[in-house]
């Protein structure tokens, strides 16, 4: 049974399956490398869509998926220019000019939601803590972003043990933290922000960039129109991330608010909701492997893979009918005679062939002369009439032979006599 199993594993079909699996695994490895899939553990306790800590947004991605929305966790910086809603979760140390460039570029590509950074966190080290869990250490005093040439400053408000209230989109509730609250600060913010969610002092917690005042109440689902007549997509700023992070959506009211905010931010656009991870250090740089799996080079990659599959298939096909292996022992009288001769030669019993071979040659010579092999005188007379050598003399030479060489010479002389007749 073991031998049958091994031969089946390395049969033609088994070998083909193993080689095909190796090729597919190698292609998958190249794709993961190109897409940043091997860039380390994404659940690292930072505030992004792959994090399961209190400050992360993995819960929001799962909530959207459960609600029927497509979700993409993007590690490719090229996806920043894809249409559809893009959700950015920049870290507090991000270069402001980089964020500004991304948002400005997307105004004519698709809607954007910016979730501001808040908590400073460190991994939870106590026993029983799961990967990604964190301790929240505190919030920075402020964070600044520039959008459409306007500087927005988010200010920390100390809560001193009380939970802040929020109101917006026909709902209200409290925030999970009693330590700090982030709101948009500055009097000038009221001029170009359309608040969606505010705190108990009417300070914006979530707002739209108003674009020259074209955002009106009840008209936030539509693309705003700039004064230059160019249609642009909206930018939603979430100043207080505790409304949407894992800690926040643990509450049903805040979870429903998160779904409403994402629905409004999409502005009716189709396609999946894309969470960017590149700003959080989890992206993949553009390289040859990345380009190989992107249009227009994807077509060339698929063509090469198909050609490789065809070459592999042809490599396993025969050019003609299979050659049958020769049997170890050939059938027939000749092989039987040869085998018998080998046995006698190995046993060194050639002398045993003297009498049988002599009788055989007497019978064959008599048959050629048309005589009976028992009539020696008649055979000798017939040979003398043909001027042929004496048979009896050669038979006596064969009987007297002792060495292998003598036997062979005597047998050969009888054979030569037969051929002369």
Residue 166, classed as helix, strand or coil, is strand
Query: For residues 156 and 284, what is the distance between their CA atoms, to the nearest angstrom?
Result: 33
Neighbours of 96 (CB within 10 A): 13
Cα–chain center distance at 391? 86
pLDDT score for 85 = 94
pLDDT score for 219 = 43
Residue 78, classed as helix, strand or coil, is helix
Tokens linked to 407: 């036997």
Q: What is the DSSP letter of 48?
A: S
Tokens linked to 378: 């008649």
pLDDT score for 174 = 95
**Cis (ω within 30 of 0) for the bond into 112?**
no
Q: What is the DSSP letter of 225?
A: B
Residue 26, classed as helix, strand or coil, is helix
Q: What is the DSSP annotation of 95-147?
A: -HHHHHHHHHHHTTT--EEEE----EEEE--STTPPTT-EEEEE--SEEEEEE
* Short-list 239, 242, 155, 153, CA closest to 196: 239
- Full-model pTM: 0.60
pLDDT score for 198 = 93
CB 159 within 8 A of CB 179: yes
Q: What is the bridge-based pairing of β-strands 86-88 and 273-276?
A: parallel
pLDDT score for 220 = 45
Tens of pLDDT along the chain (421 residues)?
444 444 444 566 776 677 777 777 777 776 666 555 555 567 777 889 989 999 999 999 999 999 999 999 998 888 899 999 999 999 988 998 999 999 999 988 999 999 999 998 888 777 777 887 888 888 888 898 888 778 888 999 999 888 899 999 999 999 999 999 999 886 656 677 889 999 999 999 999 887 654 544 444 444 455 555 566 788 999 999 999 999 999 999 999 999 999 999 998 888 899 999 999 888 665 556 666 666 777 788 788 878 877 777 777 666 667 777 776 666 777 777 777 777 777 777 777 778 888 888 888 888 888 887 777 888 888 888 888 888 888 888 888 888 878 888 888 888 888 888 7
The CA dihedral of 413, 415, 416, 421, to the nearest 10 degrees, is: 130
Task: Give me the sign of the Cα torsion angle 194, 198, 203, 204.
Answer: negative
Query: For residues 69 and 67, what is the distance between their CA atoms, to the nearest angstrom?
Result: 6
Residue 83, classed as helix, strand or coil, is coil
* Short-list 155, 168, 185, CA closest to 243: 168
* Short-list 113, 105, 120, 145, CA closest to 47: 120
Q: What is the pLDDT of residues 227-267, one digit of tens each?
A: 555 667 889 999 999 999 999 999 999 999 999 999 999 98
């Amino acid at each position: 049974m073991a031998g049958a199993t091994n031969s089946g594993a390395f049969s033609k079909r088994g070998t083909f399956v193993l080689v095909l699996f190796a090729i597919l695994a190698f292609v998958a490895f190249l794709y993961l490398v190109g897409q940043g899939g091997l860039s380390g553990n994404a659940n690292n306790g930072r505030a992004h869509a792959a994090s399961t800590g209190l400050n992360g947004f993995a819960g929001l991605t799962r909530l959207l998926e459960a609600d029927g929305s497509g979700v993409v966790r993007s590690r490719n910086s090229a996806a920043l220019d894809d249409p559809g809603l893009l959700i950015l979760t920049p870290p507090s140390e991000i270069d402001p000019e980089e964020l500004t460039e991304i948002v400005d570029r997307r105004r004519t590509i698709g809607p954007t939601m910016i979730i501001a950074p808040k908590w400073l966190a460190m991994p939870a080290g106590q026993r029983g803590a799961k990967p990604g869990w964190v301790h929240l250490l505190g919030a920075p005093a402020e964070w600044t972003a520039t959008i459409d040439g306007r500087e927005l400053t988010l200010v920390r408000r100390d809560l001193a043990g009380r939970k802040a209230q929020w109101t917006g989109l026909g709902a209200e509730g409290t925030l999970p933290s009693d330590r700090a609250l982030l709101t948009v600060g500055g009097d000038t913010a009221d001029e170009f922000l359309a608040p969606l969610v505010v705190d108990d002092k009417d300070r914006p917690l979530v707002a739209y960039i108003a674009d020259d005042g074209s955002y009106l109440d009840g008209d936030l689902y539509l693309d705003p129109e700039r004064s230059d007549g160019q249609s642009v997509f909206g930018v939603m700023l979430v100043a207080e991330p505790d409304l949407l992070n894992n800690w926040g959506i643990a509450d049903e009211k805040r979870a429903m608010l998160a779904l409403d905010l994402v629905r409004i931010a999409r502005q009716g656009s189709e396609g999946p909701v894309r969470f960017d991870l590149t700003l959080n250090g989890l992206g993949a740089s553009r390289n040859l492997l990345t380009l190989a799996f992107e249009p227009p080079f994807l077509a060339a990659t698929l063509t090469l893979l198909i050609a490789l599959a065809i070459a592999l298939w042809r490599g396993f096909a025969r050019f003609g009918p299979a050659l049958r292996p020769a049997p170890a022992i050939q059938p027939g009288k000749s092989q039987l005679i040869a085998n018998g001769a080998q046995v006698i030669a190995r046993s060194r019993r050639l002398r045993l062939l003297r009498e049988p071979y002599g009788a055989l040659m007497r019978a064959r010579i008599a048959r050629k002369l048309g005589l009976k092999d028992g009539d020696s005188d008649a055979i000798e007379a017939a040979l003398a009439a043909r001027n042929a050598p004496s048979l009896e003399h050669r038979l006596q030479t064969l009987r007297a032979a002792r060495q292998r060489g003598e036997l062979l010479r005597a047998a050969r002389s009888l054979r030569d006599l037969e051929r002369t007749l």
